[in-house]
Amino acid sequence: MATSQIITVSNLVKDYFMGRQFFRALNGITFSAVKGEFIGFVGPSGSGKTTLLNIIGALDNPTSGEAIVLNKPVSTLHQKEAARLRNDSIGFIFQTYNLLPVYTVYENVEFPLLLLKKGNAEREHAVMQALEWVGLTAKAHSRPNQLSGGESQRVAVARAMVKVPEIVLADEPTANLDAANSHNILTMMQRLNDELKTTFIFATHDEKVISYLHRKIVLNDGRVVDDIMMN
């Protein structure tokens, strides 16, 4: 079966300068991912998981090396092109949910569609569908401060999925959730991965998440130390 490669990372290096010193967060990372994968970057704190996720998400630039995401070289993208790539094709899920506090659940999920300039009817349909995926239609008019942690993260998943992106990048999505909520979120993501063929990439050191992954890329000190296909 032919597979389409949507992410190609080769020899990626990222240095952070702190005064005269520099810290190498990524040190020659190479890997590739195909559409529909359910991958996790796994490793201890400071191993470079979030930095790698940020570069793939066009939020940051590498110091050297290349990251090609959906046929676009991230390092040469102009700010506007990077924003467009994120808006069109990438969904983000954060550890602290990062919901817009003054918006309702509905408005939070609707936001990426507003940026995509979708029409009213299309937006309403997509938002309600995304809320249905995460089981939160009843909370559509609640504010983020009226939600539990698990509900907030489900809204974040709905917001990431509402535009049906090619890639969803999830940075420690279960770190603030208890076991039951983590299970619910991950099962839901797996289901969306199966149904919509969206590529999910996690940055995590949470064992609960690791057990759901199809592929585990182990990072340590900014290097790939293992790349394991899971059963």
Partner 1 sequence: MLTLKLAFRNITHAGLRTWLNVGVLSFAFVLIVLIEGLYDGVLQQVKDDMIDSEIGGGQLWQKEYDPYDPFTLEQSHAQVSAELTQEIMKRNATAVLIASAAIFPRGHIQSALLKGVDPDQKIVRLPAFVLRQHRQTHAIPGLIGARMAKSTGLQIGDVVGVRWRNAHGTFDAGDIEIVQVMTTNVPSIDKDQLWIPLDTLRAMLRMPGEATVITLAKDIARVPAHGPQWIVRDHAYLLKELIENINKKKISSSFMFILLMGMALLAVFDTQVLSIFRRRKEMGTLMALGMTRWDVVGLFTLEGCLLGILAFLAGSLYGIPALAYIAARGITLPQMTSQIGWAIGSTVYPHYGLRLYAVTSLTLFISVIVVSFLPTRRISKLKPTDALRGKLS
Is the CB of residue 45 less than 8 Å from the CB of residue 100?
Answer: no
Size of the site for partner 1 (CB under 8 A): 27
Any contact of residue 80 with partner 1 (CB under 8 A)?
A: yes
Closest contact distance (angstroms) between CB of 98 and partner 1 is: 4
Q: Which is nearer to partner 1, 37 or 171 (CB)?
A: 171
Any contact of residue 31 with partner 1 (CB under 8 A)?
A: no
Burial label for 224, CB within 10 Å (0-12, 13-18, 19+), is buried
Q: How far is the C-alpha of 152 from the C-alpha of 133, rounded, in Å? A: 14
Q: How far is the C-alpha of 85 from the C-alpha of 166, rounded, in Å? A: 10
Q: Quick one: which of 33, 61, 19, 16 has its CA closest to 216?
A: 33
Segment 41-60, which members bind partner 1 (CB under 8 A)?
54, 57, 59-60
Closest contact distance (angstroms) between CB of 3 and partner 1 is: 27
Any contact of residue 15 with partner 1 (CB under 8 A)?
A: no
Cβ–Cβ contacts within 10 Å for residue 229, how many?
A: 10
Closest contact distance (angstroms) between CB of 41 and partner 1 is: 16
Q: Which is nearer to partner 1, 95 or 216 (CB)?
A: 95
Q: Which is nearer to partner 1, 156 or 216 (CB)?
A: 156
Q: How far is the C-alpha of 189 from the C-alpha of 229, rounded, in Å? A: 18
Segment 91-120, which members bind partner 1 (CB under 8 A)?
92, 94, 96, 98, 100-103, 107, 111-112, 114-117
Tokens of 79: 């700010």
Burial label for 35, CB within 10 Å (0-12, 13-18, 19+), is middle
Closest contact distance (angstroms) between CB of 114 and partner 1 is: 6
Q: Which is nearer to partner 1, 81 or 132 (CB)?
A: 81
- x-marked contacts with partner 1 along 147-166 as a string, rule CB under 8 A: ------------x-------
Q: Which helix (H) or strand (E) holds 74?
A: none
Tell me the DSSP string of 169-193. Answer: EEESTTTTS-HHHHHHHHHHHHHHH
Q: Which is nearer to partner 1, 30 or 87 (CB)?
A: 87
**Cα of 66 vs its chain's centroid, Å:** 19
Q: Which stretch binds partner 1 (CB under 8 A): 29-37, 75-83, 183-191, 195-203?
A: 75-83
Binding residues for partner 1, per CB under 8 A?
54, 57, 59-60, 79-80, 83-84, 86-88, 92, 94, 96, 98, 100-103, 107, 111-112, 114-117, 159
